[in-house]
């Protein structure tokens, strides 16, 4: 049995202020395979630390420089090609700068309570459970023989 596998490493960060607002990103459906409102983040480059990657990605996508991002969990699944896709989930209230949209998508602050009213990216509400429920640390999409993906929380 092999102990190695191909892996795609990514991150996502929930950035919040003291008034109950969070930074969201509305992805351009013409640019991405999936669209809708999500949280900023992206791919971890070869040789880059997990922390460095989330700080870089947030800055590139939002214009904010975050500090003290806390790893709160992960989301993962296996692609059709058998590659494990990992999304490290971070949360922070510490940031400087002003938000700005980029070619990655429109960036804005929204009240957390208003998220359910937005056109969210696939399964964002389930993903937010991992960000917000301290009893959860993992969202795994498992595929059973002959079934669609099912969500498992831990």
Q: Structure pTM?
A: 0.92
In the structure, what pLDDT confidence band is assigned to residue 37 with cuts at 50, 70 and 90? very high
CATH number at residue 54: 3.90.79.10
pLDDT on residue 38: 95
**What is the residue-wise DSSP string for 113-141?**
GGGGGS-BPTTHHHHHHHHH-TT--EEEE
Model confidence pLDDT, tens digit, residues 85-132:
999 999 999 999 999 999 888 999 999 999 999 999 988 999 999 999
pLDDT on residue 85: 95
The number of folded domains in the chain is: 1
pLDDT on residue 73: 97
Residue 44 belongs to some domain of the structure: yes
pLDDT on residue 31: 72
Closest Cα to residue 44, out of 35, 34, 33, 56?
Answer: 56
Token digits for 145? 């023989």
- C-alpha–C-alpha distance, residues 10 and 76, integer Å: 10
In the structure, what pLDDT confidence band is assigned to residue 8 with cuts at 50, 70 and 90? very high
Residue span of the structural domain in which 21 resides: 7-153
In the structure, what pLDDT confidence band is assigned to residue 27 with cuts at 50, 70 and 90? confident
Q: What angle do CA 92, 55, 71 make, to 5 degrees?
A: 45
Contact predicate 149/122, CB 8 Å: no
C-alpha distances in angstroms, 112 versus 12, 33, 136?
Answer: 16, 25, 19
Residue 1 belongs to some domain of the structure: no
Residue 116 belongs to some domain of the structure: yes
Residue 126 belongs to some domain of the structure: yes
**Does residue 148 surpass a pLDDT of 80?**
no
Residue 59 belongs to some domain of the structure: yes
Question: With b meaning 16 or more CB within 10 Å and e meaning fewer, what string describes 7-36?
Answer: eebbbbbbbbeeeebbbbbbbeeeeeeebb
Please tell me which residue, 33 or 101, carries the higher pLDDT value. 101
**Does residue 60 surpass a pLDDT of 60?**
yes
Residue 28 belongs to some domain of the structure: yes
Alpha-carbon dihedral sign for residues 66, 68, 72, 75:
positive
Contact predicate 130/75, CB 8 Å: yes
């Amino acid at each position: 049995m092999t102990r190695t596998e191909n892996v795609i490493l990514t991150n996502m960060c929930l950035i919040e202020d003291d008034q109950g607002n969070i930074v969201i990103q509305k992805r351009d459906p013409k640019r991405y395979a999936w669209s809708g409102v999500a949280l900023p983040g992206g791919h971890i480059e070869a040789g880059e630390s997990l922390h460095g990657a989330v700080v870089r990605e947030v800055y590139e996508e939002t214009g904010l420089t975050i500090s003290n991002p806390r790893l709160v969990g992960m989301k993962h699944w296996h692609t059709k090609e058998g590659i494990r896709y990992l999304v490290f989930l971070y949360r922070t209230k510490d940031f400087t700068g002003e938000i700005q949209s980029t070619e990655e998508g429109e960036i804005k602050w929204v009240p957390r309570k208003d998220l359910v009213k937005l056109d969210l990216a696939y399964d964002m509400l389930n993903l937010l459970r991992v960000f917000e429920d301290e009893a959860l640390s993992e969202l795994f999409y498992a595929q059973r023989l002959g079934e669609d993906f099912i969500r498992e929380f831990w």
